[in-house]
Amino acid sequence: MNKRVCQITTVHIRKDGRIFHKECVSLAEQGYDVTLLVNDGQGDEHDQGVRLLDIGGYRGRVKRIIGAQPKALLMALRQKADIYHFHDPELIGIGLLLRLFGKQVVYDVHEDLPNDILAKPWIPPLLRAKVAKISAFMERVAARRFAACVCTTPTIQGRFSVSGGSDVVLLRNYPIARVGEAEPNDNCPDSAADIRLCYAGGISDARGLRQMIELADATQTRLCLMGPIRGVAMEVLEAMPGWQYVDYLGMLSKEEVEREYSRQPAIGLVILLPGYGYDEALPIKLFEYMLFGLPVICSNFPLWSSIVEENDCGISVNPEDVDQISGVILALKRDPERILDMGARGRKAVLEKYSWIAERTKLFELYDRLLSAPGR
């Protein structure tokens, strides 16, 4: 009989890249009976060997805590799973309750919670540092009670490793990359006007939104934005001179984003601002740009700079210096062959070094350890 796994999220979308496409589908391919609890009101479904059960579509923090979490706990217990694996900090309480029922629980730490709190606009600025410190302490104490913590970056792994008490695994959020899949657009552009700027993911001031619009204006380059805009009113953005160059596509599926990457030559932007904890993150968009043959312009955080410089697949810049970045963009647009060469080197690096196909082995090994643990 296949071992049963129940993964839980009340925050992420049902077909989230890391949760569904990477972890759940990989586990199903490995022979696990996988159920994913999601909270979007779209109903139940079965896809790629994964059973998706809908908690109900509770929106907002209060409704998720009052409505989604009790229901998620009851639905999770009904699964009688061998391993429970949750993905949101707000579900730590559910994880602890599952432990009280004697379950094997894994906490998947996507973000560095203390740094994430420092960027939350809904928390009064004077309270953010104190809330971040308290949250970090409570998170570490709770993590000791779980069977394992899965971390996306070495920095997060280090923070949980010193807590002790649980198996701490580094599972980087690399893209799914197989030779022959996700083929890039390798057609040399006929002119500089054919080259676009691209950004996919959550869009906000902290992630360089206004700088990207200013860059589009300064370089007269089309800017394709894909993802939800948060914290800024649309009328404010539409009043900026550079908005005339913006193609805002809103929320897209994974397949739609990939089609945009492949549609015509483009430069991928990852100019997230300092001060929000991004410097130690490994943004999936950086590696997805590389996979699809897009040269990268990224913030000059040491970790990011080392990746693009080591593989000669992009250029790191001061994310707050629009003049500097404009010069880099214009130089690349004048040299389309360099764009293709950088893109090819980036794709090669992902296929050889930064692929989920190799990373997922660590997830399988973790589950094997948990399932074979004495007295589980």
Task: Give the pLDDT confidence score for residue 285 in this predicted structure.
Answer: 94
The three-class DSSP label of residue 56 is coil
Which residue is listed with tokens 């970790």? 303
Amino acid at 143: A
Tell me the longest C-alpha to C-alpha distance in the chain.
Answer: 66
pLDDT of residue 177: 79
Cα–Cα nearest to 357, from 180, 119, 187, 114: 180
Q: Are 40 and 132 in contact (CB under 8 A)?
A: no
What's the rounded Cα separation, in Å, for the pair 62 and 362? 35
Low-confidence ranges of the chain (pLDDT < 70): 1, 119, 121, 163-165, 178-193, 374-376
Bridge partners, residue 108, by sequence: 150
10 to each of 41, 90, 244, how far by Cα in Å? 11, 9, 37
pTM summary value: 0.84
User: 83 forms bridges with which residues in the sheet?
Assistant: 5, 104
Instruction: Dig out the tokens for 301 from the structure.
Output: 């955080």
- In degrees and rounded to multiples of 5, residue 113 shows phi and psi of -55, -45
Q: How far apart are CA 79 and CA 76, in angstroms?
A: 5
pLDDT at 132: 79
- Rounded to a whole number of angstroms, the CA Rg of the chain reads 21
Q: How far apart are CA 349 and CA 331, in angstroms?
A: 23
